[in-house]
Structure 1
Amino acid sequence: SAAFYLMNKFKSVEKVKEHLVFTTHTPEEAGNEKHDIYLCQKMSYFCGISIDEVRRLTGITDDLFNHSLAALRFARKANGVSRLHGEVSRKMWSHYSGICEIIHITNAQNWRYWADKQLYKAMEEGNDLAFDDRKNYLKKRAFEIVADQTGKLFDSNALTIVWARRFAGYKRADFLTQDLVRFEKLINSIDKPVQFIWAGKPYPVDYPAISQFNNLVHLSKNYKNVAVLIGYELTLSKRLKQAADVWLNNPRVPREASGTSGMTAAMNGAVNFSTDDGWIPEFVNHGNNGFVVPKADYENLSVHDQDNYDLNKMYEILEQQIVPLYYKNFETWRQIMKNGMRDVRFQFDSNRMAHEYYDLMYK
């Protein structure tokens, strides 16, 4: 709508371009809105410009008005929200003419707000005793919320895996539970116990996501060390990042535009374990500051085969690398935590992002 407002004001596409840039936020079909062009006009979306003129200006000939497409034709420059998303966006829009250049500026998070400063202080002082003590305290404190909501008593010394974010189909919340045999083997281990926490919210009318959430709640009732928490807002989000030893992220590549929860998790000493999507290719160095599922040729895999490949790889990495490392070689595990904390701090702090938006887009 801003584009049409400017069009009304300047009466020239060239002039509009001088004043307009566009950030595309998602490769998801549902996130790139299309509405009936007559409804848009009825609601004054086009600021008094006639439908014929709108069609001439935007090149949209059918009755569905594609908002993102119009924005890409009116802007002088656009950006995706991670390097990978920039590539995906260029490919996605390449068969349309008259599109502006699409660069990328990777999303970031505010370190001052999210990071646990005491954990960073212990790391900077090289005080491993204080570092371990602090992380253990953070886990204990978060587990009070688990006990409050579910009545389950989690162990602050056990490896804790957390999946917490918006529930959306492509993010595959219940992914690891799709192989129940391996899932149970993981959580029923006596000498290397693993605890799972899920949290997050589905959109109100996203029924598949709502049933996914409900299924996880029912599943969790069978185990003393699996919990699903409600009320996922900023406070719980921070507590769960502090509770996590492993921050689990398994979207279907390449559908996650950026994803930033793993950034704030790393700022609280959680180790990222993810499929290679969104911001992750710019961050994770496998086995050094996190763990990542090696990319397959996803282009030529069916969704079913992609899910099978990812699931198998995730269990391999969990069973053979993550769990043994945490329990048998904690020195190395601690170093991976610290590497993640260090690497996330400057490259993915919001100051860097704000500067890039100014320098690359707005100036």
Structure 2
Amino acid sequence: MAFDFQMYTPAPEFSTPAAYFSMEFALDQALKTYSGGLGFLAGSHMRSVYELKQNLVGISILWSFGYYDQGRNEDQSMRADFRLKHYSFLQDTGLVFPIEIHNAQVLVKALYLAPDTFGTAPMFFLTTDIPENDYLSRTISHHLYDADTAARVAQSILLGVGGGKLLDLLGRQTEVYHLNEGHGLPLAFYLYDKHGRSQDEVRKRLVFTTHTPELAGNEEHPVKLLHKMSFFGNVPLEEVYRLGLVENESLNYTLTALRFARISNGVSKVHGEVANDMWGGYQGISPIIAITNSQNGTYWRDQALHAALEAGDDQALKARKRELKKQLFDIVADQTGTLLDPEVLTVVWARRFAGYKRADLILRHFERFLDIVNSQDRPVQVIWAGKPYPKDFGAIGLFNDIIAKTKNLKTCAVLTGYELGLSAALKKGSDIWLNTPRYPREASGTSGMTAAMNASASLSIADGWIPEFVRHGENGFLIEHTDISQPDHVKDDIEATNVLDVLENEIIPLYYSQPEKFLEVVKTGMREVEPEFESHRMATEYYERMYKVK
């Protein structure tokens, strides 16, 4: 018997029944099913679905151990801890059903998150970690982005085939299946087999969002490995070849999704252009439009800050910002023993730790950095936070190197545990939100949006969403990037200088000598970031531009 899940009455303009598949969702601090920006984005999307009353359900995997818990060793360096998670608020649907992985039956259990629990779309989470399965099958849903290739392939089958089959078992009519990134690609083959082995029938139903602006970052595996793992379900390998999906004996998830989708999108205007440059030369792909990622204001914005902004009460706004800085600095002191000053200009770099994001760019010219943060007259405080992938030893080394370089500085701190709660505290407690990716490798980047909602001005390379928003010195600050053809070390040297130049020559004088002008920059950012970069706009655009079948 199908599980009778309760759903709100959809608004007429959003009545098309859709399902959104994502490997991660950041819905609430209590639910550890995300690693970084992709999850934050998907979480905000699901919140706007709820607030707009869109006819959409979310499909994901319940990760038994979450991503990981970021702790510290005795020397303050980072430690990755893995603890089993338990959630009383997820409802057992009673649905347990088989899928095929590696030519063997694996049982999938579906759990349900009701819309009113966290104010999201109705959500279903799939797990194989149940007693009916053997140990290896149980581990499929243990760790988000498992480092083992076979496990990663199995996770994709669980999301795509498990999610597709769940919707059928629920008896829910679904007109649009939305793949958020290529992880759930086996869904395309499930739909292909279900609808008479017709690519056109799949295209009527499938839409796709790509987030990765470089070829190497788009998942790809040998086609024979995927076949062996049952990635294609009932579709014979020779048919996969006949469909023209195989390039150099490998199958690229993004390219294949583009070939099965009716329409696809990049996640900023810049990324839309980059994605068309990357994939436009391949035959049979869908059109790629740009729908810029956004974040949910209801969840992220501080109500008191916004009330002060709307009332035109600068004193109340400044007083509330000081309170929020103090709240953040209590976290800093608790974690590190460093006591920061709410009157001092505070810069935060916080996001998923990956090499191209260059967390240490501001430290590259270290003596100059020390002069800035140790200034007696106009000091600057700098805080870092972020979770490296637990097997990315280069990123972990970078995280630990920043700790080692700054641990004796009274104006610097590196925090662990970068999840929704800490992210919100950092955005609300920062004055400047620093973003230093290597151009053009940031597809969107959304953390600066939620910082701007909370009276923190972006200092950013003009990548991702930033060119659509920041006007230098008016609502944020830009870091000039150099010619992308230069070697990385040359780019890093030049752009590190540019970061410190803007900070030292523009932001610091403004903050300390012209505080009212600094406040005006911050207020302009607060006013202008919504509604353009609030997720109601994004969720509406998906319905209007991608879900409505013409």
State how far apart, in whole Å, the 2-side matches of 1:246 and 1:221 are. Answer: 21
Question: Secondary structure at the residue paired with 1:316?
Answer: helix
In structure 2, the residue matched to 1:104 is 290
* 1:118 is the counterpart of 2:300: no
1:285 to 471, 478, 485: 471
Contact residue 215 and residue 278 of structure 2 kept, 8 A: no
1:244 to 424, 430, 438: 430
Contact residue 21 and residue 361 of structure 1 kept, 8 A: yes
In structure 1, the residue matched to 2:143 is none
- Identify the structure with the greater helix proportion: 1
In structure 2, the residue matched to 1:361 is 546
Question: Secondary structure at the residue paired with 2:190?
Answer: helix
State how far apart, in whole Å, the 2-side matches of 1:193 and 1:271 are. Answer: 18
2:208 to 15, 22, 25: 22
State how far apart, in whole Å, the 1-side matches of 2:317 and 2:201 are. Answer: 56
Contact residue 58 and residue 70 of structure 1 kept, 8 A: no
* 1:127 is the counterpart of 2:301: no
In structure 2, the residue matched to 1:159 is 345
Per-residue Cα deviation, 1:256-310 (whole angstroms, up to 9, x for no partner)? 0111111111111101100000110111011000001234432x32222222221
Corresponding letter in the other structure for 2:518: W
Corresponding letter in the other structure for 2:474: N
Q: 1:301 to 1:361 in 2, by over 3 A?
A: same
* 1:306 is the counterpart of 2:494: no
* 1:168 is the counterpart of 2:354: yes
In structure 2, the residue matched to 1:140 is 326
Per-residue Cα deviation, 1:169-219 (whole angstroms, up to 9, x for no partner)? 110011111110111111111100100100110001111100000101111
State how far apart, in whole Å, the 2-side matches of 1:158 and 1:339 are. Answer: 21
* 1:228 is the counterpart of 2:387: no
* 1:202 is the counterpart of 2:372: no
Question: Secondary structure at the residue paired with 1:190?
Answer: coil
Q: Which moved more, 1:46-55 or 1:24-33?
A: 24-33
Q: Which moved more, 1:224-233 or 1:44-53?
A: 44-53
Contact residue 386 and residue 417 of structure 2 kept, 8 A: yes
1:214 to 390, 400, 407: 400
Q: 1:61 to 1:326 in 2, by over 3 A?
A: closer
Please list every run of 5 or more consecutive structure 1 residues that lacks an aligned counterpart in the other structure.
none
State how far apart, in whole Å, the 2-side matches of 1:61 and 1:159 are. Answer: 52
TM-score by length of 1: 0.97
Question: Secondary structure at the residue paired with 1:347?
Answer: coil
Shift of 1:24: 0.5
State how far apart, in whole Å, the 2-side matches of 1:61 and 1:224 are. Answer: 54
Sequence identity, in percent? 54
Contact residue 442 and residue 463 of structure 2 kept, 8 A: yes
Contact residue 58 and residue 73 of structure 1 kept, 8 A: no
In structure 2, the residue matched to 1:95 is 281
1:332 to 513, 517, 520: 517
State how far apart, in whole Å, the 1-side matches of 2:451 and 2:291 are. Answer: 20
Shift of 1:29: 4.1
- Identify the structure with the greater strand proportion: 2
In structure 2, the residue matched to 1:352 is 537
Please list every run of 5 or more consecutive structure 2 residues that lacks an aligned counterpart in the other structure.
1-185
Which has the bigger relative contact order, CA under 8 A and spacing at least 6? 1
Q: Which moved more, 1:161-170 or 1:312-321?
A: 312-321
Shift of 1:237: 0.8
RMSD value, Cα: 1.2
1:184 to 351, 357, 370: 370
* 1:268 is the counterpart of 2:465: no
